[in-house]
Amino acid sequence: MDQVLKDEAAKPAAPTAPVKGIQVTENAIKKIRSAMVKENISPEQGGLRLGVQGGGCSGLTYNIRFDTQPRERDRVFQFGDVRVFVDPKSFIYLHGLTLDYQETLMQQGFVFVNPNSTKSCGCGSSFS
């Protein structure tokens, strides 16, 4: 998946209840579903794995890929026929995240709207 990964730091908005877990927009679900078909990933067993790893210009980098099954300690989030796996360490940084997919004239890709992000870099895939 060669899409641009972009982080949108928390922006002031009307007060709402904190989001529990991970949210995925309808646009992102459609893109994940079609990509899973192309990658021959079974929706009954596999899913999208979201994570973070050290590195990047802001300290942490988003990691997104498909996995054939969840791992033992993963948190599994179900969105219709699409599952999202998050390991316990990454969940600390991704709790409350909304994953979106946007297509514009200039770029297309997954967008991470992360309320835990205090700053991000110009490349959009690194945050702290």
Over the stretch 25-57, which tens digit does the pLDDT of each residue have?
999 999 999 999 999 999 899 999 999 988 766
pLDDT digits (tens, 9 = 90+) for 54-98: 876 667 888 999 999 999 999 999 999 999 999 999 999 999 999
Dump strand ranges (E) for the chain: 6-9, 23-24, 47-54, 60-67, 75-79, 82-86, 98-103, 108-114, 126-127
Q: What is the pTM of this model?
A: 0.76
3-state helix, strand, coil in the chain (%, to 5): 15, 40, 45
pLDDT (0 to 100) of residue 14? 43
Cβ-based neighbour number of residue 49 at 10 Å: 20
More confident residue, 7 or 71: 71
More confident residue, 14 or 88: 88
Tokens of 30: 């459609």
pLDDT (0 to 100) of residue 52? 92
Tokens of 73: 């300690």
Three-state DSSP at 33 gives helix
pLDDT (0 to 100) of residue 59? 79
pLDDT digits (tens, 9 = 90+) for 94-109: 999 999 999 989 889 9
Q: What's 87's DSSP letter?
A: -
Query: Could you give the domains of the chain?
Result: 19-117 (2.60.300.12)
Strands 6-9 and 108-114: parallel
